[in-house]
Every structure is written in C-alpha cells, then in structure tokens.
Amino acid sequence: MRVVVTGGAGFLGSHLCDALVARGDDVVCIDNLVTGSHDNVAHLFGHRFTFVEHDVSNHVWVPGEVDAVLHFASPASPRDYLEMPIQTLKVGSLGTHNTLGLAKAKGATFMLASTSEVYGDPQVHPQPESYWGHVNPVGPRGVYDEAKRFAEAMTMAYHRYHGLDTRIVRFFNTYGPRMRPGDGRVVSNFIVQALAGDPITVYGDGNQTRSFGYVDDTVRGVLALLDSSEHDPLNIGNPGEFTVRELAEIVIELTGSTSSIVCEPLPVDDPTQRQPDITRARELLGWEPEVALRDGLVSTIEHFRHL
Ligand code: UDP
C-alpha cells in the first residue's frame, strides 16, 4: 500500500510510520514540525519513506496513487494544545476536511486519530464507544475535544454522504520512547523529574485516574483497525487504570529516584477518571494490549536516560 500519514513525525505518528514501512508499505509523511521532529523519522529516509513539511490545515495534495490517508496530525499534549489553541482547532477541523478530500480524490481509505477526550470528564466509567461524553465546549480543553468531535462528525459525514471507506480510532493516554521531554504530559514529566532528582509534580490530589497504553500496543491496534472494515469509532487503550499518584510512585521506584512528590494546582476541566472499555476492539479485531505499565515504563525510562 501507499499510505499518507499526517503528523508522521510526531510521537505516535512516527511509530506508525515505522510499522508501515516494516510491513512493506510506502509511506508519505506530512508534518509541519510544530510538535513533531525530523529526529523521529531520520532513520526512515531511504526506506520507502518520503517526508513533506506542510501544514495540513492548508490545502493538501499528494501526487500519484494513495491507498490510505491516516490523519494523525495535531498537538496532543494538553500543554501543547493550550499554547496552540487555534492551530489545534484548525488541524482538527480544516485539516480533517482537507485530508478527507485527499482520500476521496484518491479513492483511499481514511483513518482519523481521535481521542478519549471526546468523552470529556466522563460520567460513565469505563468508557464504551457508545458514550456521548461530557465535554465543556468553552473551557480551555474544548479546543482539542471539540476539534476531535467535529473531526469525527466530518469523517462520518464523508462515510455516509460520499461512501468513503473510513476508520475512527479513539486513543487513550499513550506513552513510550520519542515522547518529547518537555511536552508536559504526565509520563514524560514524571520520568524527566525522577531522573533529574527534581520534585515530581502531581496536579491536584493525584487521585484522578488515567489508563496508560504502550505505543507498540497502540500501533498494533491501529494496523488491525486499518485492515478491518469497521467504520464506527473504536477505543484503543490499555484498561489498566492507575491514579496519578500511583504513577508517580511507580516511576520513582523504577528509576530508583530520590525525588519527592509535590502537589500543584489541578488544570481546569482535568478529567477525574478515564478507562477504556475495549470490548469492541477485542471482539472486532481480536486486539488487546500486551505490555503492562511497568514494562512499558522501563523501556520509556531507558529512552529518556539516553537523551
Ligand atoms: N499531571 C500531573 N503532573 C504533571 C502532568 C500531568 O499530575 O506533571 C496529571 C494531569 O493533571 C492529568 C494526568 O496527569 O490528571 C494526565 O495528564 P496528561 O497531561 O498526561 O494528559 P491528559 O490525560 O490530561 O490528556
């Protein structure tokens, strides 16, 4: 297949490019490098891999045949999308429209990288795909949540109205090598702080929960979904649920750090709990995560040690 990956130089996108190239696909990676980096894909040059520096919120065109368009471009860390609210809204809305247009013109399959943030601060736990969510549209996080909700609606409209072959994957917190040390997410922050012996910054009381999926499991889920014919949204995440304080303690233990834990203010609209219901992924794809949090953290810590 010839596959276009937007956001292909980002954390998740670059692992996806690796997996596509490894299975013999040709990859065209489009990225404007606002949160992505050449370093994430430098090893792919010369291996059925083309890089195009472009912002997909503007018109997108790729010459030649294309079999699939995977729209993974967006700031994804709360710190990033709070700093780039308008770009985040644009890449989720205009970027999704442009990449859907590319897929339609090429007769290609389209996949949208969506998010558990469409569930907002969920009042149903764990979250099945059938849950409509509890999002504050005008709060600071709304720029990401609503962009992705619009993107899902636009994707379904292209599917229903144009008959486009579409996929929607809803990711839960994903971690692993190539996370940016300064991206502000909890796993990268805690590892960087622990390795430096700095205080671990727990926001709020640390009793809020997240469910952390290792990037290799996530990418395996993406490929399984791409190869399926499932048009409805699908959760891809690891149901292992931890409080943020538990995560801090595990990171301290695995790094052998002397760091203390300090509490800082909880960001506005920070979800109190999050856990994927992956029944549909299990039934439709035969997919489930294989990497336990501690094992994935060991690999991730190793990556950060060598930066
Ligand atoms: N968090 C924290 N300390 C940090 C960074 C994040 O306690 O240094 C918390 C954050 O408030 C949230 C959780 O960890 O409750 C996950 O945050 P992250 O930014 O990784 O992603 P989110 O799941 O909120 O999109």
Q: What is the pLDDT of residue 269?
A: 96
Q: Give whole-number Cα distances, 159 to 16, 53, 107, 111, 166, in Å.
A: 23, 28, 12, 11, 6
Q: What is the pLDDT of residue 221?
A: 98
Compute the distance from residue 23 Cα to the ligand 1 centre, in Å.
34
Q: Is 267 in the pocket of ligand 1 (CB under 6 A)?
A: yes
Residues 82 and 202 in one domain: no
What atom of ligand 1 comes closest to residue 208's alpha carbon? 15
57 lies in a domain?
yes
**Residue 116 CB: number of other CB atoms within 10 A?**
24
Q: Is 244 in the pocket of ligand 1 (CB under 6 A)?
A: yes
Q: Is 270 in the pocket of ligand 1 (CB under 6 A)?
A: yes
Q: What is the pLDDT of residue 82?
A: 95
Q: Is 148 in the pocket of ligand 1 (CB under 6 A)?
A: no
Q: Is 304 in the pocket of ligand 1 (CB under 6 A)?
A: no
**With pLDDT > 90 as the criterion, what percentage of the chain qualifies?**
100
Nearest CA to ligand 1 atom 14: 186
Q: Token pair of 50, please?
A: 């083309």
Which residues fall within 8 angstroms of residue 281, CB to CB, at 6 or more apart? 221, 224, 225, 234, 235, 236, 287, 288
**Residue 125 CB: number of other CB atoms within 10 A?**
14
Catalytic residue among 81, 119, 144, 175, which?
Answer: 144
Cβ 274 vs Cβ 119: under 8 Å: yes
269 lies in a domain?
yes
Q: What is the pLDDT of residue 285?
A: 98
Name residue, tokens 């839960």: 172
Residues 127 and 198 in one domain: no
Residues 21 and 102 in one domain: yes
169 lies in a domain?
yes
Beta strand 209-211 with 174-175: parallel, antiparallel or unpaired? Answer: unpaired
Nearest CA to ligand 1 atom 18: 185
> Span 19-34, mean pLDDT?
98
pTM of the model: 0.98
The structural domain count of the chain equals: 2
pLDDT one-digit tens code per residue, 213-255: 999 999 999 999 999 999 999 999 999 999 999 999 999 999 9
Cβ 91 vs Cβ 151: under 8 Å: no
Q: What is the pLDDT of residue 143?
A: 98
Residues 153 and 203 in one domain: no
Q: Is 259 in the pocket of ligand 1 (CB under 6 A)?
A: no
Residues 217 and 165 in one domain: yes
- Is 144 one of the catalytic residues? yes
Q: What is the pLDDT of residue 270?
A: 97
> Span 105-116, mean pLDDT?
98
Using CB atoms within 10 A of its CB, is residue 107 exposed (0-12), middle (13-18) or buried (19+)? exposed
End-to-end CA distance of the chain: 34
Residues 260 and 146 in one domain: no
Q: What is the pLDDT of residue 145?
A: 98
What atom of ligand 1 comes closest to residue 202's alpha carbon? 7
Q: Cα-atom radius of gyration of the chain, to the nearest Å? A: 18
295 membership: H or E segment, kind and range: helix 293-305
Instruction: For residues 84 and 144, give the distance between their C-alpha atoms in angstroms, rounded to a whole number.
Output: 10
Compute the distance from residue 225 Cα to the ligand 1 centre, in Å.
27
Instruction: For residues 170 and 49, give the distance between their C-alpha atoms in angstroms, rounded to a whole number.
Output: 26
Nearest CA to ligand 1 atom 17: 186
Compute the distance from residue 243 Cα to the ligand 1 centre, in Å.
10
Q: Which of the four pLDDT bands, split at 50, 70 and 90, describes residue 108? A: very high
Instruction: For residues 144 and 120, give the distance between their C-alpha atoms in angstroms, rounded to a whole number.
Output: 10
* Mean of pLDDT over the chain: 98
Residues 200 and 227 in one domain: no
35 lies in a domain?
yes
Compute the distance from residue 245 Cα to the ligand 1 centre, in Å.
11
Q: Which of the four pLDDT bands, split at 50, 70 and 90, describes residue 63? A: very high
Residues 37 and 156 in one domain: yes
Q: Which of the four pLDDT bands, split at 50, 70 and 90, describes residue 16? A: very high
192 lies in a domain?
yes
152 lies in a domain?
yes
**With pLDDT > 70 as the criterion, what percentage of the chain qualifies?**
100
Compute the distance from residue 111 Cα to the ligand 1 centre, in Å.
26
Instruction: For residues 26 and 22, give the distance between their C-alpha atoms in angstroms, rounded to a whole number.
Output: 10
CATH number at residue 6: 3.40.50.720
Q: What is the pLDDT of residue 70?
A: 99
Residues 106 and 167 in one domain: yes
What atom of ligand 1 comes closest to residue 117's alpha carbon? 25
Q: What is the pLDDT of residue 151?
A: 98
181 lies in a domain?
no
Compute the distance from residue 267 Cα to the ligand 1 centre, in Å.
8
CATH number at residue 254: 3.90.25.10
Residues 16 and 164 in one domain: yes
Q: Is 211 in the pocket of ligand 1 (CB under 6 A)?
A: no
Q: What is the pLDDT of residue 44?
A: 98
Q: Which of the four pLDDT bands, split at 50, 70 and 90, describes residue 170? A: very high
Q: What is the pLDDT of residue 190?
A: 98
Using CB atoms within 10 A of its CB, is residue 306 exposed (0-12), middle (13-18) or buried (19+)? exposed
Nearest CA to ligand 1 atom 4: 186
> Span 137-141, mean pLDDT?
97
Q: Is 109 in the pocket of ligand 1 (CB under 6 A)?
A: no
180 lies in a domain?
no
Residues 261 and 229 in one domain: no
Strand partners, 6: 30, 71
Residues 124 and 40 in one domain: yes
Q: What is the pLDDT of residue 155?
A: 99
- What range does the domain containing 256 cover? 186-208+241-274+294-305
Q: Which of the four pLDDT bands, split at 50, 70 and 90, describes residue 53? A: very high
Q: What is the pLDDT of residue 175?
A: 98
Q: What is the pLDDT of residue 2?
A: 98
Q: Token pair of 122, please?
A: 């969920």
Residue type, 2: R
